[in-house]
Amino acid sequence: DSGVTQTPKHLITATGQRVTLRCSPRSGDLSVYWYQQSLDQGLQFLIQYYNGEERAKGNILERFSAQQFPDLHSELNLSSLELGDSALYFCASSEGQAFYNSPLHFGNGTRLTVT
């Protein structure tokens, strides 16, 4: 058990809809990262927050947004969903700001299916 909790585990929704994925980081971890995993794109970094502030941005679409709350949990909002957004979305947390000195701990992911 990594200590990172993601909800829900599965989500099925229709095109054009909006969903929110939730992540509770490991106790004591200040950084939260969001990744998208699909068969054709592999593991893509979306965004990182550190102690409530956006720290780094990756290949995140404008239709997607995220935030980290004062209690350090994070939410990833996906809107105007398209079929191609179907993927596994992982949240990870780490103690520090920088990945190189603070390894990531991953949750079990939320599987999003857009129909």
Partner 1 sequence: GNSVTQMEGPVTLSEEAFLTINCTYTATGYPSLFWYVQYPGEGLQLLLKATKADDKGSNKGFEATYRKETTSFHLEKGSVQVSDSAVYFCALSPDDKVIFGPGTSLSVIP
Binding footprint of partner 1 on the chain (CB under 8 A)? 2, 4, 42-43, 45, 55-56, 58, 90, 92, 97-101, 103-109
Using CA atoms in the order 91, 96, 102, 104, what is the torsion angle rounded to 10 degrees? 0
Minimum distance between the CB of residue 100 and partner 1, rounded to whole angstroms? 4
Cα separation, 73 vs 4, in Å, equals 10
Our CB check for partner 1 shows the closer of 83 and 101 to be: 101
Cα separation, 64 vs 12, in Å, equals 17
Our CB check for partner 1 shows the closer of 13 and 97 to be: 97
Please name the amino acid found at residue 84. G
Minimum distance between the CB of residue 90 and partner 1, rounded to whole angstroms? 6
Our CB check for partner 1 shows the closer of 104 and 114 to be: 104
Minimum distance between the CB of residue 56 and partner 1, rounded to whole angstroms? 6
| Rg of the chain, C-alpha, whole Å | 13
Cα separation, 26 vs 48, in Å, equals 15
Our CB check for partner 1 shows the closer of 42 and 70 to be: 42
Minimum distance between the CB of residue 31 and partner 1, rounded to whole angstroms? 10
Residues paired with 100 in a beta bridge: none
